[in-house]
Amino acid sequence: MENDDGIWNYCNNSAVRRTARRLGQFYDDFIGPSGLKGTQFSLMTQIVHSGEPSLKSLADALIMDLSALGHTLKPLVRDGLVELVADDKDRRVKRARLTALGAERQADARALWQEAQGRLDAAYGADNSAQLRAALNTIASMDLTAATRDENK
C-alpha cells in the first residue's frame, strides 16, 4: 500500500508523529534561546494554567503517565524552575508550581512561542491552524481505547 510519498499518506499515526517531529523542531528552534525545550515550555505553561496542579492531574492533562511526567519534570526541578510541594489537605499528594525563576523563564519562552505561533499561522493560515488544533484536541479528548473495547464486545 505504501508508495513513494510514504506511509503517512495512509496511516494517521505515522502522519501525526512525523508532523509532531517537524513542529517540535520548529518550536524548539524559536524557544531555544530561553533555555527551554518546547516540551518543557508546554509543561510549564500547563502548570501556570492549572494553578499548582497535582502531579496526577498534570499527567492526565498532558496525556502522560506519571513516570514520563517525572522524567520531564526532573531537569526543571533540578534547575530551580519548578518545585514539587505537598498538598495542604493530603500530604501524600504532590503539586507542581513554578518558582519565581521558572515564571520568568516561562514568560521569556512565551514571547518566543508567540513569534513561532505567528510565523506558523502566516505560513499555514490562521484559520487552518485553528482547525488543526480543534481536530487534534477532539482526538486527544477521545478515549480511543474504550471505543475499541466497546466495538469488540
pLDDT (tens place) for every residue of the chain, 153 residues total: 445 567 767 888 888 999 999 999 999 999 999 999 999 999 999 999 999 999 999 999 999 999 999 999 999 999 999 999 998 888 889 999 999 999 999 999 999 999 999 999 999 999 999 999 999 999 999 888 776 665 665
**pTM of the complete model:** 0.83
| Domain annotation covers residue 2 | no
Residue 142 in any domain: the answer is: no
Q: Output the CA angle 131-137-35, nearest 5 degrees.
A: 95
For residue 122, the model assigns a pLDDT of 97
| CATH number, position 94 | 1.10.10.10
CA 34 vs CA 2, 103, 107, 151: distances in Å: 40, 12, 9, 46
Q: Which of 19, 94, 64 is nearest to 72 (CA)?
A: 64
Model pLDDT, residue 91: 86
Burial class (CB in 10 A: 0-12, 13-18, 19+), 139: exposed
- 35 is written with which cell numbers? 533555555
Domain that holds residue 83: 7-129
Say if 135 falls within a structural domain: no
pLDDT at 1: 42
- Is 12 domain-assigned? yes
Q: State how many domains the chain has.
A: 1
Phi-psi map region of 52: left, alpha, beta (phi>0 left; psi -120 to 50 alpha):
left
Does residue 153 sit within a domain?
no
> Which pLDDT score is estimated for 40?
95
Is residue 149 included in any domain, yes or no?
A: no
Residue 101 within any structural domain of the chain: yes
Q: Residue 84: beta bridge partners?
A: 96
The pLDDT value given to residue 144: 81
- Per the domain annotation, does 137 fall within a domain? no
